[in-house]
């Protein structure tokens, strides 16, 4: 083998590229990793394509390497058994690799030149572990397990389940992801028109909720399940039991062609447009403070309720509009539903906080509003308990001590014995007699 056919560490030239990687795990320099990635020997798998590091985080990572302040992290790579191309995939470390490529390509941003950048990266060792999997999906599951307990969000962990619904090829995965991006763009567009600028920090939560809304509509699910959307981190059990919304949705739509999937998404978006128009009409009719808008959290929770109502065939449109009016008047487009004092004033210390897909709180919200809208349908979890009770309060405080608008003092034992049950007329008259008000 001639000198021209040998890489800098003595590894052979493969496909016209000097390759530094060896089978199995070993320590390598960051310079070797960057060179192999730039030469195409390493690529990111479809489930690892999104770059979520901010520019500040990338700069900070490089500054720490330049200052030798902390370990540079490790890399996980894999290849598919039987793949004759020998392609390697970077399964963990994609964000770090992007930051390193930025440094090598533009060292002047850090006040360095190319020679200095190479010298620094050659002097920095990292651990590289290489695996062989039977499929990209197996690599994706390992990616999830590796990133449990890290800063990776549930969206970052599970998006890959939706990439591979039409097979393992990168081309198919890219085509599928274009369709899911279409879903996010359409739902996000409706939200921005209604709510104004959304919180960028909640982008991953919103994307997972897009899946949940589509799943609720597509499956016609009449339960009040929240699909675990409120979780920022998933557990091993969530993955193994298939409870993540991405896994549920992938199982339901994998039989569709890509054209059929896109058509279903467009049909779903039209339904959201219709339900959103109803919410906007009711909100405008309330004549609240000029410039006030429905918050993103409020709009998304109401979309869950709207889809559930249709799936459960529950209540007339007039009842739905009445509920919307009562709800939006009390919350003013926010996500906190406050309990009321006996005189009708809102008790700002006691409230139900609503989150996306949190349909389990619908019954509690309706009790506060005095509405029977939440009495029907199947509940995904127990709705019998009221949430957010402060110390010193219990279930007996949910209903005022009296009949109608009147309130009378009641001893603690009787109050707790009655619990959440409203006082009967007979009990009310007896209490008035004891208190000398008859």
| Closest of 232, 62, 239, 70 to residue 151, by C-alpha | 232
**pTM for this prediction:** 0.70
> Does 321 score more than 90 pLDDT?
yes
- Section 117-141 average pLDDT: 88
Return the pLDDT at 4. 35
> Does 96 score more than 80 pLDDT?
yes
DSSP assignment letter at 111: T
- Section 368-375 average pLDDT: 84
Q: How many CB atoms lie within 10 A of CB 286?
A: 13
Hey, what are 224's tokens? 């009040």
Return the pLDDT at 228. 86
Q: How many CB atoms lie within 10 A of CB 229?
A: 22
> Does 378 score more than 50 pLDDT?
no
- Buried b / exposed e over 342-381, threshold 16 CB at 10 Å, is eeeeeeeebbbebebbbbbbbbbbbbbbebebbeebeebe
| Closest of 127, 110, 86, 99 to residue 34, by C-alpha | 99
Q: Give tens-digit pLDDT for 150-163.
A: 667 788 778 888 88
CA distance 81 to 131: 10
Return the pLDDT at 14. 34
Return the pLDDT at 21. 44
Give the chain's mean pLDDT. Answer: 79
- Buried b / exposed e over 146-168, threshold 16 CB at 10 Å, is bbeeeebbbbbbbbbbbbbbbeb
**Residues forming beta bridges with residue 79, ordered by sequence position:** 132
Q: Give tens-digit pLDDT for 45-86.
A: 888 766 777 888 888 889 988 887 667 788 889 988 888 888
Terminal C-alpha separation, the chain = 109
Strands 125-133 and 42-43: unpaired
Return the pLDDT at 200. 63
Return the C-alpha torsion angle 389, 392, 396, 399, nearest 10.
-60
Q: Give tens-digit pLDDT for 204-233.
A: 889 999 999 999 999 999 999 999 887 767
Return the pLDDT at 263. 97
Q: Give tens-digit pLDDT for 4-54.
A: 333 333 333 333 333 344 444 578 899 999 999 999 999 988 887 667 778
Q: Give tens-digit pLDDT for 242-259.
A: 888 999 999 999 999 999
Distances (CA, A) of 27 to 74, 87, 287, 360: 9, 20, 66, 50
| Vertex 27 angle, CA 23 and 28, to 5° | 90
- Section 78-104 average pLDDT: 89
> Are the C-beta atoms of 272 and 213 separated by less than 8 Å?
yes
Exposed, middle or buried, 282 (CB in 10 Å: 0-12/13-18/19+)?
A: buried
Torsions phi, psi of 365, nearest 5? -60, -45
> What ranges make up the beta strands (E) of 42-124?
42-43, 75-80, 88-92
């Amino acid at each position: 083998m001639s000198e021209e056919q040998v890489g800098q560490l003595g590894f052979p030239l493969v496909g016209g590229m000097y390759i530094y990687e060896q089978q199995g795990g070993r320590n390598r320099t960051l310079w070797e990793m960057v060179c192999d990635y730039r030469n195409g020997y390493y690529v990111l798998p479809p489930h690892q394509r999104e770059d979520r590091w901010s520019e500040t985080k990338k700069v900070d990572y490089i500054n720490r390497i330049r200052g030798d302040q902390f370990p540079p992290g490790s890399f996980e790579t894999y290849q598919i058994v039987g793949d004759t191309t020998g392609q390697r995939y970077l399964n963990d470390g994609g964000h770090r690799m992007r930051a390193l490529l930025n440094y090598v390509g533009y060292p002047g941003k850090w006040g360095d030149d190319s020679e200095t950048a190479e010298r620094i990266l050659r002097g920095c060792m990292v651990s590289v572990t290489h695996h062989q999997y039977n499929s990209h999906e197996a690599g994706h599951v390992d990616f999830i397990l590796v990133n449990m307990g890290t800063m990776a969000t549930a969206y970052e962990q599970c998006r890959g389940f939706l990439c591979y619904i039409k097979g393992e090829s990168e081309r198919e995965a890219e085509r599928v992801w274009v369709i899911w991006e279409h879903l996010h763009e359409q739902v996000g567009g409706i939200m921005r028109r209604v709510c104004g600028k959304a919180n960028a920090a909640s982008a991953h939560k919103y994307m997972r909720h897009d899946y949940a809304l589509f799943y609720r509509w597509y499956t016609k699910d009449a339960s009040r399940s929240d699909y675990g959307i409120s979780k920022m981190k998933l557990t091993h059990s969530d993955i193994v039991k298939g409870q993540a919304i991405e896994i549920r949705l992938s199982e339901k739509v994998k039989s569709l062609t890509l054209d059929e999937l896109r058509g279903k998404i467009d049909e779903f978006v039209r339904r959201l447009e219709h339900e959103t128009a109803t919410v906007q009409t009711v909100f405008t009719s309330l004549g609240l403070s000029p410039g006030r808008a429905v918050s993103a959290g409020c709009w998304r929770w109401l979309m869950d309720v709207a889809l559930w109502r249709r799936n459960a065939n529950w209540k007339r449109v007039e009842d739905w509009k009445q509920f919307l009016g009562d709800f939006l008047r009390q919350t003013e487009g926010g996500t906190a539903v406050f309990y009321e004092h006996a005189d009708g004033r809102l008790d700002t210390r006691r409230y139900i906080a609503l989150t996306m897909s949190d349909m389990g709180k619908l019954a509690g919200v309706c009790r506060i509003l005095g509405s029977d809208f939440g009495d029907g349908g199947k509940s995904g979890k127990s709705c019998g308990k009221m949430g957010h009770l402060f110390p010193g309060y219990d279930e007996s405080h949910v209903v005022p001590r009296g009949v109608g608008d009147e309130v009378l003092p009641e001893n603690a034992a009787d109050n707790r014995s009655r619990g959440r049950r409203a006082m009967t007329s007979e009990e009310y008259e007896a209490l008035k007699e004891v208190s000398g008000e008859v």
